[in-house]
Structure 1
């Protein structure tokens, strides 16, 4: 792998750095991200002719996204909604509902095709098309991106940096944000670490388990991360975690996280901006 490829795909790890002093004395941070795929995620995975999966995924925009919005409102939690462009085109009312409720709107590809096999020009077109549609719907330009399937290549992070994106949630190189600077002269892209273990799909599609199993793992991971002063990035899909039973995993987890009283539950853009400012202060010699 060349040095330029390395700069765009391998962030420097945290190397057991001292835990950050999160805002307002919080001991850890939690991001709730919602991947709104519509039916396009299963089309990209199973094909357009697989109507079983397409029918399952219709739940995403018809019911699941609305249940998740209600839960988040009940808990007064602001989340990050990562939108597939075609899903946003199908249901702009859902995009606006999330935006007006104070949630962040981020990009998740135009039609959920993997970025791993896209050329640089194809990715640029996909990113700008999705970003511009979401900006036209909400009046706010997205600053965050999560690649479909979390699959990307050496072009992705440099392009995000060139296009002015501020955060990306594709690379799990540790349990803290990492600033990536493939172009040293440009503002960094803050890499926020995801995990398959924090993804509802792993529990309720790959393996069909009771909601309490997801809650218990998320709770235990949050306990460890809280002790270490780190970050957890939860991923939900409305057609999966927005169903009646699986949604209980989210409500139980929010009950637990909020009751701790010292976990900063924030949108991805707020965490990324805070981290970027922290890095700037550290570089200038100020305390974190």
Structure 2
């Protein structure tokens, strides 16, 4: 198996942690830090159109509160996994019951919205503890992508915890020896070029190469604010280049669920 897993965090605009609260807010653009969703919805539309053009399916890790603002038909054919209820840092939540309630509530929203029970999970902020890892299979989660792993020739998913499949986000060094992960946010912030991610992808000979982004990052920069039409166009073209040229390397686009099923059918 040599797969490309394109994963998208469908969450509130430019999320930030709010001191003393569980739920995340959005960076203040002049109207406070309450959660905003407009950039996420615009970005989702751009991403779905781009994926339709390329002819590939993605895994959307949905924050349940954001999903409530989405037209469910937009996500038809794509996998929808869990990304918390309100982008909570689960490592700060005390007690198994509290964590279970968040994940179960988010799962119920996703099932009610898109019609299928989620089986994949990504922790908000990419922060996960062993308590949560142990809990996930109990609530029906079969695949997790909440960790980074050093990129290598073999990026085969592995079993962790109680039978959970871990499909990590690759990380490595660029040509200058600087750390790079397969999260695309530096490209959206004009700090990296598509070629940086293509070099990272070229290291893998087998397994699942996980590329990750946020819906809102297609139209809004954390540092610069809302993007102009030209900036959005360049941003979209850069993402298209990364996806199409990674596929041209011989990687087959698969969702997290597809990868898990292949691993279960051909365990190593």
Q: Which residue of 2 aligns with 1:74?
A: 53
What displacement does 1:43 show?
A: 5.2
Q: Aligned to 1:170, what secondary structure does the other structure show? A: coil
Indicate which of 32, 49, 64 corresponds to 1:85: 64
Q: Aligned to 2:130, what secondary structure does the other structure show? A: coil
Question: What RMSD, in angstroms, separates the aligned Cα atoms of the two structures?
Answer: 2.5
Indicate which of 178, 184, 187 corresponds to 1:203: 187
What displacement does 1:245 show?
A: 2.5
What displacement does 1:246 show?
A: 2.0
Equivalent-residue separation in structure 1 for 2:125 and 2:25 (angstroms): 17
1:124 aligns with 2:124: no
Q: Which has the higher helix share?
A: 1
1:265 aligns with 2:253: yes
Range 64-73 or range 46-55, more displaced: 46-55
For these two proteins, the number of residue pairs brought into alignment is: 237
Asked if structure 2 preserves the Cα contact closer than 8 Å seen for 1:39 and 1:87, the reply is no
Equivalent-residue separation in structure 2 for 1:49 and 1:67 (angstroms): 20
Q: Aligned to 1:240, what secondary structure does the other structure show? A: helix
Equivalent-residue separation in structure 1 for 2:265 and 2:213 (angstroms): 28
Q: Which residue of 1 aligns with 2:238?
A: 249
1:141 aligns with 2:117: yes
Equivalent-residue separation in structure 1 for 2:255 and 2:200 (angstroms): 19
Unaligned stretches of 5+ residues in structure 2: 171-179, 220-231
Q: Which residue of 1 aligns with 2:15?
A: 41
Asked if structure 1 preserves the Cα contact closer than 8 Å seen for 2:6 and 2:59, the reply is yes
What displacement does 1:49 show?
A: 8.2
Asked if structure 2 preserves the Cα contact closer than 8 Å seen for 1:167 and 1:191, the reply is yes
What displacement does 1:223 show?
A: 1.3
Asked if structure 2 preserves the Cα contact closer than 8 Å seen for 1:145 and 1:168, the reply is yes
Equivalent-residue separation in structure 2 for 1:39 and 1:49 (angstroms): 6
1:223 aligns with 2:198: no
Asked if structure 2 preserves the Cα contact closer than 8 Å seen for 1:44 and 1:113, the reply is no
Q: Which residue of 1 aligns with 2:141?
A: 165
Asked if structure 2 preserves the Cα contact closer than 8 Å seen for 1:43 and 1:50, the reply is no
Equivalent-residue separation in structure 2 for 1:58 and 1:138 (angstroms): 18
Asked if structure 2 preserves the Cα contact closer than 8 Å seen for 1:83 and 1:108, the reply is yes
CA change 1:143–1:44 in 2 (3 A) is: farther
Unaligned stretches of 5+ residues in structure 1: 1-21, 23-27, 283-288
Q: TM-score, normalised by structure 1?
A: 0.75
CA change 1:218–1:59 in 2 (3 A) is: farther
CA change 1:43–1:87 in 2 (3 A) is: farther
Equivalent-residue separation in structure 1 for 2:234 and 2:61 (angstroms): 22
Equivalent-residue separation in structure 2 for 1:277 and 1:223 (angstroms): 26
- Ranges of 4+ aligned residues in structure 1 off by more than 6 Å: none
Q: Which has the higher strand share?
A: 2
**Aligned ranges 1:25-36 → 2 under 5 Å:** 28-36=2-10
Q: Which residue of 2 aligns with 1:111?
A: 86
